[in-house]
Amino acid sequence: MAIFGLARFSLARSVKRLTLLVLLLWLQGCASLVSNVTSGLADDLASTILNSQDVQTVREGMPAYLIMIDSFLRSSPDSPDLLLAASRLNGAFSVFTEGDRSKLLTTKSLDYALQAGCITNVSLCGFRGQKFSEYKSLVDNISNRDIDVAYAIAVGWTNWVQANSDDWNAIAQLAKVKYLMARIVELNESYDNGGPHLYMGGLETVLPASMGGKPEVGKMHFERSITLSEGKFLMTKVIYAQNYARLVFDKALHDRLLNEVLAADPIAPDMTLTNMVAREQAKALLADSDDYF
């Protein structure tokens, strides 16, 4: 969700950059240049996708984008920027999929983020599999220098758990995911327009209170995320309605949040595509509201 490092995309500019890449490689054969230019193209690609208003075109074209970025990684497998872009694109496309396809894409997204983390900070290599006491110590030592990869790992991991929610071994990893995301909230709660609070809200409302969930804590995170994004990231209200309002059977809150999504302007830098998807989901949830409540 909206964790892309985004810039405006121009097809003509990208064609020129590709031409420049070929020319310079022929003249110099410089491996580092490959990494720099392909990472830039990946960022432009991510920018185009997240700023698009045409959900259907993105949905249909995303598989080609994923193949393209995988081809970039063949030439630059150790580029953290490229790995993070690949993680973000695979995670974004997983929104449009279900079942085994979603599991595959979220696994790729998480793996790419973990690889980037290992490259940028050796202490993050294999930390996902550490015993919880050792894991906590490693996470406590994460600093703002690591926040980009830490957030990508936390988001990829959250999406992976959601895609594998039929597997209790995946659900068992929620405690580690929450601890990592909580650390990111401590470091910079406003990162990604309040994204850490959004994910914490979702993680705290996975289960009802009777099974160990903390819906009211989740509600506070959702509200804080809305404040930090100035209400512009509409998916927060959709997830708030779906995860919290439905969990506690608050129809008034549920319908108000979703109607606010439909009434809002979806066009916002770095958020447009996600906002368009949020509008689609809001319509579906509202249509089902009377039956659910």
**pLDDT tens, 4-55?**
332 223 333 333 344 444 433 333 443 443 445 455 666 676 677 778 888 8
Q: Side chain identity at 152, as an amino acid letter? A: A
Q: Which pLDDT score is estimated for 42?
A: 62
Closest CA to 185 of 147, 211, 128, 223: 147
User: Phi/psi of residue 98, each to 5°?
Assistant: -140, 170
> What domain range is 14 assigned to?
1-94
Q: Is the pLDDT of residue 82 over 60?
A: yes
Whether the predicted pLDDT of 212 surpasses 70: yes
Distance of alpha carbon 46 from its chain centroid, rounded?
12
Residues 64 and 82 in one domain: yes
Give yes or no for a contact between 158 and 177, defined as CB atoms under 8 angstroms apart. yes
Based on the fold, state whether residues 103 and 86 are members of the same structural domain. Answer: no
Integer Cα distance of 231 and 251 in angstroms: 20
Q: Are residues 195 and 291 in the same domain?
A: yes
pLDDT tens digits, 247-293: 999 999 999 999 999 999 999 988 898 899 899 999 999 999 999 99
Which of 1-5, 98-102, 131-135 is most confident? 131-135
Same domain, 199 and 280: yes
151 and 64 housed in the same domain: no
Among 150, 184, 218, give the residue marking a domain's end. 184
Pair (240, 146) in one structural domain: no
Answer with the one of 184, 208, 239 that is the final residue of a domain. 184
Does pTM surpass 0.95?
Answer: no
- 183 in Cβ contact with 208 (< 8 Å): no
**Number of domains composing the chain:** 3
* 269: Cβ contacts below 8 Å, ≥ 6 apart: 6, 51
Number of H helices, E strands in the chain: 15, 0
C-alpha dist (Å) from residue 39 to 68, 105, 154: 12, 20, 22
Say yes or no: 5 and 87 in one domain: yes
Residues 167, 69 share a domain: no
Three-state DSSP class for residue 48: helix
In tens, the pLDDT along 140-193 reads 999 999 999 999 999 999 999 988 988 888 888 999 999 999 999 999 999 999
Give the span between the Cα atoms of 95 and 56, in whole angstroms: 13
**C-alpha distance across the termini of the chain, in Å:** 28
Confidence of residue 85 (pLDDT cuts 50, 70, 90): confident
Nearest by Cα to 222 from 209, 234, 210: 234
20, 55, 227, 248 from 60: Cα distances, Å: 29, 9, 33, 36
Q: Are 52 and 58 in contact (CB under 8 A)?
A: yes
Residue reference for tokens 């995303």: 62
Taking all residues of the chain, what is their mean pLDDT, rounded to a whole number?
Answer: 84
Q: Which amino acid is at 57?
A: T
Query: Looking at residues 95-108, what average pLDDT do you find?
Result: 89
Same domain? 28 vs 15: yes
Q: Is the dihedral of CA 237, 239, 241, 245 positive or negative?
A: negative
d(CA 277, CA 279) in angstroms, rounded, equals 5
Residue corresponding to tokens 């249909």: 60
Give residue 291's pLDDT.
95
Q: pLDDT category, 93, cuts 50, 70, 90?
A: confident
pLDDT surpassing 90 at residue 207: no
109 and 176 co-located in one domain:
yes
Residue 131 above 50 pLDDT? yes
**46-69: per-residue pLDDT in tens?**
677 778 888 888 888 888 888 888
**Distance in angstroms (rounded) separating the CA atoms of residues 292 and 270:** 33
Phi, psi torsion values for 291, nearest 5 degrees = -70, -40
Same domain, 87 and 39: yes
Give the CA radius of gyration of the chain. Answer: 19
Q: Tell whether 129 and 209 lie within a shared domain.
A: no
Residue 269: give its domain's CATH number. Answer: 1.25.40.920
Residue where one domain finishes, among candidates 29, 64, 94: 94
